[in-house]
Structure 1
């Protein structure tokens, strides 16, 4: 088959025939090849979670050998403690009720002791009479996504801390200015015969030192 979806033209040019042959060879990947080396993890489990099939990609991520996994481990054995608890309390009940569930963030354990963030989707395969036969699961690498989310969280925390610090600095500045502003008023006004006086300081701005001043003084004559 050619790139355009048609059968190759036997009368085409040499370059065209070579290009079509190369393209056709790329399409000759077996289903097993596609399954094992897909850009995501695949596994099939029995209804009790026992792993019946797992692809090479997921085994490489986990650092495990196929013979140590197939028929010997359950899907939950691949998960960290927190993800295993979430699987038992939320994931598995929803899967039984809905028949499928997708895009759930979990973590899998790696043989070297590390943990890998993943996105898990599962669907139940049913037989001709409706009975549940097995569970098909895809596992996507979420390490880049997790790093991006953590970077966003750090940025948000830094911005929030900067905002709190700015508010605290502004409050301290206002307190200091209030003391200075009050010091501009005399404690006692000088007596003016026949006039009752009072002092009031009207601030121009709470963050600035300055304002309007009024004075009362007698006129001769």
Structure 2
């Protein structure tokens, strides 16, 4: 059996009620029904900064509160206390001797005499400084979040307006380009017809005339190709209503190569097609046709002189996308020099080869509209590889 503790040790377990009252972690005080203070514990006096003699029988509970708290205590707390003998968790600000304040929660209980008349009020104050600070910080965070939300909504509205304006501007520009290309086509055709009649009817004696005639014809053809290129760009832009479906690569590629047969023969070109891994692309037929046509025709147009053109087109599935690769052994490009301009409209990097500078612009635009992208690697004199990443 365990031994009993000696009497001195037992005294250590006895609670000193006065010390407990004075050093409690909360503030205690007792007042008369009119609020006159008759007793305060040491904790409350320490908070307030007063001595006991400065407050007992000299001040009221109301005077310990801020102006707003006094009014609330008189108009709300005391009537409730007289009605139900107890009030709980009322939020006030204690006013210290140095005029600083402390947020507290007040609990009060009314004690009555044997006749039921109010005798004294016992009040307990709980310091809620940390809770008050947390609530203030929470309110600030909430206000800041609301402000950011408003700013984000305003930014989104501005972005939406700008996108709408950009869409209208793009549509207006496309309409202008389409109308301009349409209106210019007829005058250019008229000029070509008149010039053909002039060549047939006129007699040129100057030996330099023949060269000038060829230059003028070349200029007319270049102007017509540019107009055709612009018209094609706008026409492709207007294909948005064409239904999207799985487009088979083999038959479309063979159709394009059939239309390019004269250039294929002239370049002694060999095309290798391998679409087994990913035989279809989910897009519109006009978009896929235009992309393949421009890449195939460019591989023939920019073939290395004196070397038969070799072009390999293949597809594969990569991370849920279809990657279509077109690789040639042509002239290649200096990407360090021209990479930033590769997809700009009317950009040309081999001036010795006839062209309008619209093909790669159109390829990139169609891929962007489809939610895909174009990746390019190239080496001068060795060839160029285009990787078209199509989302599925």
1:11-160 counterparts in 2 under 5 A?
17=5, 24-160=10-146
Change (3 A) 1:184 1:72: same
CA drift at 1:154: 1.1
TM-score normalised by the chain length of structure 2 = 0.43
Between the aligned partners of 1:68 and 1:174, the Cα distance in structure 2 is: 67
CA drift at 1:28: 2.7
1:198-209 counterparts in 2 under 5 A?
none
CA drift at 1:94: 1.3
CA drift at 1:173: 0.4
Show structure 1 runs of 4+ deviating over 4 A: 187-190
Between the aligned partners of 1:95 and 1:211, the Cα distance in structure 2 is: 79
**Gap runs ≥5 in structure 1:** 1-7, 11-16, 193-209, 216-221
Give the structure with the larger helix fraction: 2
CA drift at 1:158: 1.3
CA drift at 1:157: 1.0
Q: Does 1:181 align with 2:175?
A: no
Between the aligned partners of 1:212 and 1:108, the Cα distance in structure 2 is: 74
CA drift at 1:155: 1.1
- Quote the RMSD (CA, aligned, Å): 2.5
If asked which structure has higher relative contact order (CA below 8 Å, sep 6+), I would say 1
Between the aligned partners of 1:105 and 1:136, the Cα distance in structure 2 is: 17
Partner of 1:9: 3
SS of corresponding position for 2:50: coil
CA drift at 1:93: 1.4
CA drift at 1:82: 1.3
CA drift at 1:26: 4.1
Change (3 A) 1:34 1:212: farther
**Count of residue correspondences:** 182
Between the aligned partners of 1:106 and 1:26, the Cα distance in structure 2 is: 38
Provide Cα deviations, 1:18-51, integer angstroms capped at 9, x if missing partner. 8x965x4443332211111111111110111100
CA drift at 1:211: 9.2
Partner of 1:166: 152
Between the aligned partners of 2:67 and 2:12, the Cα distance in structure 1 is: 42
Between the aligned partners of 1:89 and 1:127, the Cα distance in structure 2 is: 24
**Gap runs ≥5 in structure 2:** 183-236, 243-392
